[in-house]
Chain A
């Protein structure tokens, strides 16, 4: 009896592959990638995210319930550059989903075409903190990178679901046009912040600094993953005063007491900024995300 029930359940599991007309099930590690997939996939995709937008993407608990989402996914999108290395691999293995294993069509490392910054040029070791050997993974905010990721996703969706390839290409073109229009619309804000001297909590604003021409004077963390200590902050505050740093930037998922104190003592203003779709309820897509960041930046300088 038990065996028959097992066989029945196994048969149910087997019969789960979607009919041709069903939407492609996309699961993204962080919501912004899912949001970009929605832009190019439209109603041809169903999107879910493992992490929440208000969560530090380094620190997601690998809860087994997330394996269920991955188990039913046709396409897994992740940031790559080892951002999710602390939690995603056991989930992918535990998902028992052949389609999304590395090397498969349903596994897309979204960094694959990104011009990566902060690649170490000397031999790294852990005395430098939790250093990232492959470069900085916080690349998804600048428009140029968003376009690259959208293009990669459209390409992959077209391979997984060739019958809708034309739709994906149309949507991608429309997305690119909207990005160009947004960049034009944002021009007064981006021009205003150019050259602003900033201090950031993590070295996670490098790509935005490159796009916007911000000057990064220092970081609250003495080394990646190592908590701030008084000596380091003391030197940082001295540097902030000497350089007339205007802003301290920190992601909104941190406890900002230390950052607030450093900003105050260094004569700068603290901005706690969203970095992901869903960080706040009104941030529903990549456009509102970037616009929110730009508004906060430009209204503070």
Chain B
């Protein structure tokens, strides 16, 4: 896997070279320049020196790991000597359309205990190892300004080739007074940090465990409305309030042995909404350091804990009210002149605690979990990440203890393509523990998974917020 990554990294620009030069950066062969004198020993020395210098020189032009730098092409064949002002910009009122593909090959020792909807799904069966390919997600994005009052964003996804889903489809106001903004449609909640982000913004192949454990496999998203307000203060502070009509997960089919994570939301009566509130504050420390912190809360009705049995599914603790509290912190170091060194460090931590009411036979109480991750940009195109996950801090009748450690190496070929090697080791120490109920999945269990993920993006995709 690493060898493939390294081989690809060694040939960055040649792939699309107009003259189709066969040489690669690692190839010392004297690809003779057109129209130049014969390549002598001096040229060989120069070539070696260039290779050495580029290897050492972390900086270069202006691109990878960053928003697209729209400088024009240096290729004179595609630029006009005498520009015609009439040609400027092909006017189109179509929305920006982009497609983002995440695909991988991988290995999984066991099925995931806390699968997120956009995690890669190999053909996994309990008790069997799986090895193969997955098309993790195809996202199709349509984005445009609607009129002087709204913009609209529609993101359709096909996770693991299972069918079309609406990841998000919402309108956002652009001209409300009083620093207010309203979002309506189906969208990802502002709860925490990772929940609002799409797969291709994640630094790892799999989402953190707390996503599926507390917010649901697809995250906290669904039809709803959000009002947010930018406080008129000397620092950045926004307050958000949201309401969603969520539907709980389907009950597992016959033959399932693993109990899915208990859903926090989507139970109760059809009129039971899920409510959230968030505060987000940003503090720049000088020009290099940024601190982005958030506090979140949510409440809804849980559809209960599903216990698969030989004959069907028992539902335990249905229609309990859940209360979630979350805290997130994102600290980033990145010099303003990033092109000088192409180095940055980002530390992200998020914790969620959840409280269930007591009901007959199923004690309530608090459970929680967190993850913390560090992503270091070591070179212009290279990012290294480590992440640790803990679920069950504390444990409860609904949630046992699970630990996970993960690492990723990301090679960003351009703004539009990246290759990522991902490795994780998971240890489930305990499972749900309702008195008098035996869950089929045997605990503890260890699991290992590794993926080589390719992510490519075509079309015009809007810039992401900080």
B171-182 Cβ-contact flags toward A at 8 Å (1 or 0): 010111111110
B31-57 Cβ-contact flags toward A at 8 Å (1 or 0): 101111100000100110111011011
A242-270 Cβ-contact flags toward B at 8 Å (1 or 0): 10000000000111011001000100000
Q: Is the CB of A63 within 8 A of B70?
A: no
B253 on interface, CB distance cutoff 8 Å: no
B123 on interface, CB distance cutoff 8 Å: no
Chain B residues with CB under 8 A of A115: 83, 85
The 8 Å CB contact of B68, one of A81, A116, A134, A225, is A225
Q: Complex formed: what's the CA distance from A261 to B24 in Å? A: 20
Indicate whether A58 sits within 8 Å of B463 (C-beta atoms), given known contacts A96-B181, A119-B87, A122-B78. Answer: no
Q: Which of B118-143 contact A (CB under 8 A)?
A: none
Indicate whether A71 sits within 8 Å of B69 (C-beta atoms), given known contacts A116-B83, A255-B57. Answer: no
Q: Is the CB of B74 within 8 A of A56?
A: no
Q: Residue on B with the closest CB to A238?
A: B36
Q: Is the CB of A219 within 8 A of B284?
A: no
Q: Complex formed: what's the CA distance from A239 to B180 in Å? A: 57
B448 on interface, CB distance cutoff 8 Å: no
Q: Is the CB of A59 within 8 A of B57?
A: no
Q: Is the CB of B71 within 8 A of A203?
A: yes
Q: Residue on B with the closest CB to A219?
A: B74
Nearest CB on B from A267, distance (A): 12
Chain B residues with CB under 8 A of A231: 14, 17, 21, 23, 25, 31
Q: Complex formed: what's the CA distance from A216 to B34 in Å? A: 18
Q: Is the CB of B13 within 8 A of A232?
A: yes
Q: Residue on A with the closest CB to B287?
A: A52
Q: Residue on B with the closest CB to A235?
A: B33
Q: Is the CB of B66 within 8 A of A116?
A: no
Indicate whether A255 sits within 8 Å of B339 (C-beta atoms), given known contacts A67-B230, A89-B462, A228-B61. Answer: yes
The 8 Å CB contact of B71, one of A116, A124, A202, A237, is A202
Q: Is the CB of A9 within 8 A of B232?
A: yes
Q: Complex formed: what's the CA distance from A88 to B466 in Å? A: 11
Q: Is the CB of A85 within 8 A of B70?
A: yes
Chain A residues with CB under 8 A of B415: 130, 225
Q: Complex formed: what's the CA distance from A243 to B13 in Å? A: 25
Chain B residues with CB under 8 A of A202: 61-62, 71
Q: Complex formed: what's the CA distance from A226 to B11 in Å? A: 11
B72-93 Cβ-contact flags toward A at 8 Å (1 or 0): 1111011110011101111000
Q: Is the CB of B47 within 8 A of A102?
A: no
Chain B residues with CB under 8 A of A261: 49-50, 53
Chain B residues with CB under 8 A of A242: 35-36
**Interface-located stretch among A11-19, A155-163, A280-288:** A11-19
Nearest CB on B from A45, distance (A): 22
Could you pull out 14 A-B pairs where Cβ atoms are within 8 angstroms? A13-B178, A65-B284, A86-B463, A101-B174, A128-B73, A130-B63, A203-B74, A222-B17, A222-B74, A223-B16, A225-B61, A227-B54, A228-B60, A255-B58
19 additional contacts (CB under 8 A) given A59-B62, A63-B290, A204-B71: A59-B67, A61-B290, A62-B465, A64-B465, A65-B283, A89-B462, A94-B465, A119-B87, A120-B73, A120-B78, A121-B79, A130-B414, A131-B70, A137-B70, A224-B72, A224-B73, A227-B60, A228-B13, A231-B23
B residues with a Cβ closer than 8 A to A are 12-14, 16-17, 21, 23, 25, 31, 33-37, 43, 46-47, 49-51, 53-54, 56-64, 66-75, 77-80, 83-85, 87-90, 145, 148, 151, 172, 174-181, 229-232, 234-236, 238, 280, 282-284, 287, 290, 292, 332, 334, 336-341, 380-381, 414-416, 458, 462-466
Which A-B residue pairs are the 5 nearest by beta carbons? A86-B67, A255-B59, A225-B63, A98-B175, A227-B60
